[in-house]
């Protein structure tokens, strides 16, 4: 069929673009698909990171997308819709992760709704960091779609609060497969200047307040000397509050900080150097970081928020902490190492990887399309 996929694609970078590229590559094998993206995604003054775009060192998939949508120009929404209409798609796929994009994506979807089946992949329905008007914007966007794909029960529950009779299908977050292979642990630690004999904990990804890095540092301060924490990712805002905690507890010799955007080519060394990846999130839906960790057969310790539990519990691929609490996270880390859980959890990850494929995600979307006809 003819599929229009409107979301973030190359030359933009980050997890959303990576997700869309992986799914696009599956669809292009059997369908006539066109990727459409933003020519302005975020205004520079509103973007909290260093850059929205792929830079040297990124191994981004250069999906051939057309840059047609300006997120903050309402007149441009209609031009973008007209452009997509000219392709005459049978299916429009969007990906929704925050209310900021509801006006642009929602308006385009509304213009196509009478002639095209609209399906949205929902990362979030309720945003992690709430702002006035979020509920109205989200409701507007959701109402422009015929069907929805969710990757956690938490998101499904939020969706049903807006649309009780929503046509929705669940699929677990597929695992990323473009980061390459692991490298020997000592080689990775040598590159990152980590002592070979340490028990290495990894915090990876964009650093935002809801992700609980402050709680992890508070937990880490009570761990023995043989533990080492690696913090890797671009900070949204300032790293000062976290550095203040590191200084306060005299942890600089036991904490390695890499506070910048981590390019895809660098990812293997961080996950290869680690013994476990910790996600101490205060709120969440699902997380692409779990998928990256699984790609490298690295178990995770996560808090029981949003849909994180669903990515762990049925498959016994990690450890679940009841809440984002420094004492509980500390105890979970100690138990992980003292009980030698890694081998068993890694074996379960390898089994899980066989079912969490992009091909399966694409099939779920196509099956939903046929149900909506």
Q: How confident is the model at residue 128 (pLDDT cuts 50, 70, 90)?
A: low
- Using pLDDT thresholds of 50, 70 and 90, give the confidence band for residue 283: confident
pLDDT band at 49 (very low <50, low <70, confident <90, very high): low
285: pLDDT confidence band, cut at 50, 70 and 90? low
Model pLDDT for residues 178-223, shown as the tens digit of each residue: 788 999 999 999 999 999 999 999 999 999 999 999 999 999 999 9
The pLDDT value recorded for residue 48 is 61
Do residues 36 and 80 make contact, with C-beta atoms less than 8 angstroms apart?
yes
Mean pLDDT, the chain, whole residue set: 93
Region for residue 104 given its phi and psi (left: phi exceeds 0; alpha: psi -120 to 50; beta: otherwise): alpha
Q: Mean of the pLDDT values across residues 296-323? A: 91
Kindly report the backbone phi and psi dihedral angles of residue 78, in degrees, each rounded to the nearest multiple of 5, phi listed first: -75, -35
pLDDT band at 90 (very low <50, low <70, confident <90, very high): very high
Residue 311, pLDDT above cutoff 90: no
| Predicted confidence (pLDDT) per residue in 231-254, tens digit | 999 998 899 999 999 999 999 999
Q: How confident is the model at residue 21 (pLDDT cuts 50, 70, 90)?
A: very high
Q: Is the pLDDT of residue 7 over 70?
A: yes
Instruction: Point out the least confidently predicted range of 95-99, 118-122, 128-132.
Output: 128-132
Instruction: Label residue 45 by pLDDT band (50, 70, 90).
Output: low
Q: Region 152-174: what's the mean pLDDT? A: 93
């Amino acid at each position: 069929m003819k599929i229009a996929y409107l979301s973030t694609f190359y030359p933009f970078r980050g997890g959303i673009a990576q997700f869309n590229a992986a799914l696009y590559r599956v669809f292009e094998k059997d369908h006539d698909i066109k990727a459409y993206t933003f020519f302005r995604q975020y205004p520079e003054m509103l973007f909290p990171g260093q850059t929205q775009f792929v830079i040297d060192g990124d191994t981004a998939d250069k999906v051939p997308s057309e840059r047609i949508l300006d997120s903050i120009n309402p007149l441009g929404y209609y031009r973008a819709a007209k452009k997509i209409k000219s392709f005459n798609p049978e299916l429009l796929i969007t990906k929704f992760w925050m209310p900021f994009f509801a006006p642009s994506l929602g308006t385009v979807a509304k213009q196509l709704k009478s002639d095209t089946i609209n399906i949205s992949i929902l990362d979030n329905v309720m945003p992690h960091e709430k702002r006035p008007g979020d509920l109205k914007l989200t409701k507007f966007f959701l109402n422009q779609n015929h069907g929805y794909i969710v990757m956690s029960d938490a998101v499904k529950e939020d969706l049903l609060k807006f649309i009780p009779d929503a046509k929705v299908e669940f699929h677990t977050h597929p695992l990323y497969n473009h980061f390459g292979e692991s490298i020997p642990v000592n080689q990775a630690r040598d590159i990152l200047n980590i002592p070979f004999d340490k028990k290495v904990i990894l915090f990876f990804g964009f650093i935002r307040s809801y992700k609980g890095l402050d709680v992890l540092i508070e937990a880490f301060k009570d761990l023995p000397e043989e533990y080492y924490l690696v913090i890797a990712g671009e900070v949204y805002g300032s790293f000062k509050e976290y550095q203040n905690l590191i200084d306060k507890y005299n942890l600089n010799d036991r904490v390695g900080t890499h506070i910048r955007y981590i390019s895809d080519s660098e990812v293997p060394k961080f996950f290869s150097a680690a013994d476990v990846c910790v996600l101490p999130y205060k709120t969440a839906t699902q997380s692409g970081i779990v998928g990256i960790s699984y790609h490298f057969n690295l178990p995770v310790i996560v808090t029981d928020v949003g849909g994180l539990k669903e990515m762990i519990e049925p498959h016994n691929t990690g450890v679940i902490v009841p809440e984002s609490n420094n004492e509980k996270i500390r105890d979970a880390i100690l138990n992980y190492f003292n009980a030698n859980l890694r081998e068993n959890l890694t074996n379960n990850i390898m089994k899980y990887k066989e079912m969490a494929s992009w091909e399966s995600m694409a099939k779920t979307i196509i099956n939903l399309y046929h149900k909506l006809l």
